[in-house]
Amino acid sequence: MKKGMMLSWLRLFAVQSSWNYERMAAIGTARALEPMLRDLPGGRDGARYHEALGRSVGFFNSHPYLIGVAVGAIAKAEHEGVPAAQIERLKAALTSSLGSMGDRLIWAGTLPFASGIGLALAATTPWYVGPAVFLLFYNLVHLALRTWGLQAGWRDGARVARALGAPLLRVGLSLAGPMAALAVGLAIPLVATWLGTGVSPLLHTAIFGVAAVGLTLALWLAPALGGLRFGLVMAAVALGLGTLWP
């Protein structure tokens, strides 16, 4: 294992702690990268270390679970003496590719898949099974990505593009969306049946009517208000109705 890699891995969990609109995740990424730069020629007092650290705080953004790929690749490139301009191009290329891959693999795949399975189990098994399976599966995936990313980045350095084309990763990207849709589709009728158990037909009709009104309002107002404003308005309405409910 590369010296400093374990500390870098631990720091990956805090890459968004200093997120800002000017540099995005650059400061957190630089902090995760720093332990792997300490043994550059000259050590922490040397010019190579300070130059590399200075470069690392420039603009950078990525999916937080895949930032380890960039950290490992940049560290390896710095150790190999890759020119500064080439390292900047590497960072720019990884910004878009890692962000897109992470969104597809995690936010559009793993998270809804794990949520769907967790909800389906919550509706059909003892209450603790669903949350436990959700937390276990989701965290196994995200920990595996962080670990693999850092190791793959260090292994391939500036040639890290070949790691991003790994067969297992390509399969995961192709299956993420369909598997998420399958899990959510499985969960919806099970959860609806679970929540509707013991409910009178009249209340069933009322629930359907409220859902229809909500969907109509979403289609009508959401494009004009935007997702955040619409969500806040609906939350305020729900709080108001909940206060008035006898």
Q: List, in sequence order, the alpha helices (H) in the chain.
A: 5-11, 26-33, 47-56, 67-79, 84-102, 111-124, 129-156, 161-164, 167-196, 201-225, 227-244
- Same domain membership, residue 233 and residue 144: no
State whether 127 and 228 are in the same domain: no
For residue 134, the model assigns a pLDDT of 96
Helices (H) and strands (E) in the chain, counts: 11, 0
Same domain, 207 and 142: no
- β-sheet bridge partners, residue 60: 24
Residue 196 pLDDT: 74
| DSSP-derived 3-state class of residue 243 | helix
17 plus 84 within the same structural domain: yes
Give the count of domains, the chain: 2
Cα 149 to Cα 163: distance, rounded to the nearest angstrom: 9
Question: Do 173 and 72 fall into the same domain?
Answer: yes
Same domain for 154 and 47, yes or no, is: yes
For residue range 15-26, what is the model confidence (pLDDT) as tens digits? 998 888 888 999
Same domain, 162 and 224: no
* pLDDT greater at residue 124 or residue 207: 124
Provide the pLDDT for residue 69. Answer: 95
pLDDT (tens digit, 9 = 90+) per residue, 146-162? 999 999 999 999 898 88
Mean pLDDT of the 82-88 span: 92
Domain ranges, residue 221: 199-246
For residue 41, give every residue at least 6 positions away whose Cβ sits within 8 Å of its Cβ, in sequence order, or none. Answer: 48
Please, which pLDDT band fits residue 168 given cuts at 50, 70 and 90?
confident
Rounded to an integer, what distance in angstroms lies between the CA atom of residue 92 and that of residue 86?
A: 10
The verdict on 203 and 192 lying in the same domain is: no
Cβ atoms of residues 32 and 12 within 8 Å:
yes
What is the chain's length? 246
The count of other CB atoms within 10 Å of the CB of residue 46 is 14
State pLDDT tens for residues 29-74: 999 999 999 999 998 899 999 999 999 998 999 999 999 999 999 9
Claim to verify: residue 125 and residue 228 sit in the same structural domain: no
Same domain, 41 and 9: yes
Distance set, CA 206 to CA 38, 83, 219 (Å): 64, 66, 20
- Decide which of 213 and 103 is more confident: 103
% residues pLDDT > 90 (the chain): 55
Nearest Cα residue to 153 out of 80, 75, 69, 233: 69
| Region of residue 202 (phi > 0: left; psi between -120 and 50: alpha; otherwise: beta) | alpha
Q: What is the pLDDT of residue 34?
A: 95
The mean of the pLDDT values for the chain is 88
Instruction: Supply φ then ψ for residue 60, to 5 degrees.
Output: -160, 140
